[in-house]
Structure 1
Amino acid sequence: MVTDPLFPDCPVRNVLARLCGPNTLWVIHLLNERQAMTQDELEQEMKGTKRSEVSAAITVLKADNIIVSCRNTYRLSALGASIVPYIKGLVRWCEQQVSPDSFQK
């Protein structure tokens, strides 16, 4: 993983700074669901997200070896696939916290 200059000595903050950037978790989620996608397919799925934003997420994920590319098609690397269960757990937690019932408490 590329070291973030803001958090060079903190592994947790360093990883979160990279993975929790705009659109990076979304790209990981989509590639896990679809196995492989082009940038155009990612952009279509990520409606309302600018091409430059999708490109920035792809650049970060490639630099950190979370995704790999072959002939303009992106897929999760083994490292990227290893984080998917944690992302799914985070998504479940978020959905539980933002359910209609949670607003009444």
Structure 2
Amino acid sequence: MRNFTPSAECPVRNVLGRVGDKWSMLVLMTLHANGVMRFSEIHRTLGDISHRMLTVTLRVLETDGLVQRAVYAEVPPRVEYRLTERGESLMPHLFGLVEWAQANLAGILASRRRD
């Protein structure tokens, strides 16, 4: 693919626009590492995400079929999140990016200091 024009048919813009934001990859990595989690557990694990932003991020990931939300009829209601099969299939690709980031962070930070 050589043309990245804005359209719904460009998979790069379409998919990366959804999972390439500040929080989506971190939420996916958190769910992969910890398995089934409740909202408050995800929030505690990430630490600096607002409740509103976590809600929005989980809804987007659920809409795209990467995260499954299960609501249990209890008092109080229990809601759990887990990766779907599609979400799990994304993980090896995210791990590659994480490994690259870890290997190159020192050099990137040094380049930033020079500028």
Q: TM-score range with shorter-chain normalisation?
A: 0.7 to 0.9
1:4-83 to structure 2, matched below 5 A, reads 7-71=7-71, 72-83=79-90
Mark the runs of 5 or more structure 2 residues left unpaired by the alignment.
1-5, 72-78
Shift of 1:13: 1.2
TM-score, L = length of structure 2: 0.79
Identify which range, 74-83 or 92-101, moves more after superposition.
92-101
1:86-101 to structure 2, matched below 5 A, reads 86-99=93-106
User: In structure 1, what is the Cα distance between the partners aligned to 2:10 and 2:108?
Assistant: 36
Larger gyration radius, structure 1 or structure 2: 2
User: In structure 1, what is the Cα distance between the partners aligned to 2:7 and 2:102?
Assistant: 29
Query: How many pairs align?
Result: 100
Partner letter of residue 45 of structure 1? T
- For CA contacts below 8 A with separation 6 or more, give which structure has more relative contact order: 1
Q: Secondary structure, in 3 states, of the residue corresponding to 2:110?
A: helix
Partner letter of residue 68 of structure 2? V
Shift of 1:21: 1.7
Q: Secondary structure, in 3 states, of the residue corresponding to 2:82?
A: strand
Partner letter of residue 46 of structure 2? M
Identify which range, 13-22 or 59-68, moves more after superposition.
13-22
Q: Choose the corresponding residue for 1:85, options 92, 98, 109.
A: 92
User: In structure 1, what is the Cα distance between the partners aligned to 2:22 and 2:105?
Assistant: 19
